[in-house]
Structure 1
Amino acid sequence: MDDLLPIGVFSRATLISANTLRAYHESGLLEPAVVDPRTGYRGYRAAQFGDAAVIRDLRSLDVPLAGIREVLAARDPAVTRRVLAEHRERTLAQQARMEQILRVTGELLDEPAAITPTVVTERTIAPVTAFTLTREVREDQFADFLDEAYALLEASAGAVHGPSGALFPAEYHDEAVPVTAYVPAEHGPDRLPGGRFAVAEFTGPYHGMSAGYRALGAWLAGTDLAITGRVRESYLLGPGDVASENEYRTEICWPLTALEN
């Protein structure tokens, strides 16, 4: 059969399992030289060893398949350097995230009470007139969206009356959700409803704010109340106000209603 190698031999020569080679074929990353339409036999040529080696080496570095596909299609060292540089940036971001997880997990294990000292109070909050901007975003996009939104809203609002904030759905979702950024202004065209709220004032960096949410959940569990409407975060002190993230102050406000009997 010419210089074709069966998948088993190609697998052993490239140190890539036959199952993985089949997956690469299905994804279009490394297609066999021939596929018998009757038997499904896959045959590879020795000339494909180079592509297989590139794929194996890049996958060992956890480079995404899309990036590897781009490298193989371009066959250009400049493209390879760019793909690897982008992958390095993603890896560094993941490393920072893992270090943060390890730090917070260590604090929880060493002294669980110290991570959730937030006091919850019940308060009546008046309606707020504001300029608002709403967009569907994922959690990892919140910060970028809010930075962009506040720049636009503050330009429209002129004089700001109170801390900026954001509204989120009452139920947490992993996928993109509608998030509303707002800037209070005396003559704002929009109106945030007032009413009865459970309020937790959290001090510290935004990535630790889950402690405030846990405190609110624990407080709500001991009542006959439920969340009604979107929850609110009011950023009392944040970037530009204080030098350290540890000094950030955020009010987390849950709108309340009595449970039906």
Structure 2
Amino acid sequence: MSNALTIGDFSKATHLSIRTLRHYHQIGLLEPTDVDPDTGYRRYATEQIPAAQVIRRFRALDMPLDDIQAVLSAPDLRTRDHLIAAHLARMEAGLARTQQAVASLRDLLEHGTAPAAIGHRSVQATPAAVISEDVGVADVLLWYQGALGELRATLAAQHIRADGPPGGMFADELFADEYGRATVFIPCHGRIRPMGRVTPTTVPAAELATIVHEGPHDEIDRAYGTLAAHVAEHELAVDGPLREYYLVGPGDTAEEGAWRTEIGWPIFATGTTG
């Protein structure tokens, strides 16, 4: 095998470390052309250098190894190009989130937390269709979107109209332990037949200190912080899940800047708050 390279020379030729090459061999991503049965020494063909260079560039773009394997084994150019385009789209979405986070951080550092109007609301016990599950905090936004879509579809199938904006209730553990009970509900009257994850319930009454967050949910922590500071200084907080009411949300418009979410913090109403 005159055109074969030792793993050391192949490492130098491709700028992939020996450790990385061994790992790629183990997972079947880039296998050597020959492995000595006695010594275990690996040898690579010079024809494998372009494949190694492709892999290195995909990894520089943070493409997962499973996706790289799928690209390299794609049966045709159309499938390969589709896989690459999908990864580039994910990168662009990640870049947009990074740019948004940078802009938010710069605004926070330069302007601090802007004053916001704090309200108070007495919520009566309300019949509703709900989905309630234990979820991780990293997944709660996607879970909420899926649950809300399922609730709306179920009510539409049963010809039941909503009596108000959808809402959510989130247990303390979801924030403190990054895993806990999340509930999404749509207020409605009428006999709801359980279907899939959807069940009927009554959302309990509560006294709430409220604040309205305008914009995407990624920025909602700032409104939470303002509301928490107000409650700590001016209210008597009580145990109970935090609430959100989605006055304008993804189901109403794709324009995230137009979203309006009312956050409710459970309090003990003394009769002196307006």
Same fold by TM-score greater than 0.5:
yes
**RMSD, aligned α-carbons:** 3.2
1:43-102 deviation line (CA, Å, top 9, x unaligned): 323343232132123223333211210122235322220111101110111121112112
1:59 match: 59
Tell me which moved more, 150-159 or 89-98.
150-159
CA gap 1:244/1:19 in 2 versus in 1, 3 angstroms: closer
CA gap 1:122/1:176 in 2 versus in 1, 3 angstroms: same
Query: Percent identity over the alignment?
Result: 36
Matches of 1:7 and 1:92, distance apart in 2: 35
Correspondence 1:141 to 2:142? yes
Post-superposition offset of 1:159: 2.7
Whichever residue aligns with residue 223 of structure 2, its letter is: G
1:118 match: 116
1:107-142 deviation line (CA, Å, top 9, x unaligned): 11220132xx33344544221111112356613414
Post-superposition offset of 1:250: 2.0
Post-superposition offset of 1:228: 2.7
CA gap 1:141/1:75 in 2 versus in 1, 3 angstroms: same
Task: Map 1:82-97 to 2 at 5 A.
Answer: 82-97=82-97
Correspondence 1:159 to 2:161? yes
CA gap 1:224/1:27 in 2 versus in 1, 3 angstroms: farther
1:253 match: 264
Matches of 1:42 and 1:174, distance apart in 2: 47
TM-score normalised according to structure 2 size: 0.77
Matches of 1:81 and 1:207, distance apart in 2: 31
2:195 match: none
Contact 2:113–2:222, Cα closer than 8 Å, also in 1: no
CA gap 1:246/1:81 in 2 versus in 1, 3 angstroms: closer
CA gap 1:58/1:195 in 2 versus in 1, 3 angstroms: closer
Between Structure 1 and Structure 2, how many residues are aligned?
255
Matches of 1:36 and 1:141, distance apart in 2: 49
| Residue segments in structure 2 that go unaligned for 5+ positions in a row | 193-199, 269-274
Tell me which moved more, 82-91 or 243-252.
243-252
2:71 match: 71
Matches of 2:70 and 2:254, distance apart in 1: 42
Matches of 1:162 and 1:205, distance apart in 2: 21
1:106 match: 106
2:44 match: 44
Matches of 1:195 and 1:15, distance apart in 2: 62
Of the three residues 239, 247, 250, the one matched with 1:228 is 239
Post-superposition offset of 1:224: 8.5
Residue 32 of structure 1 aligns to a residue whose secondary structure is coil
TM-score normalised according to structure 1 size: 0.80
| Residue segments in structure 1 that go unaligned for 5+ positions in a row | none
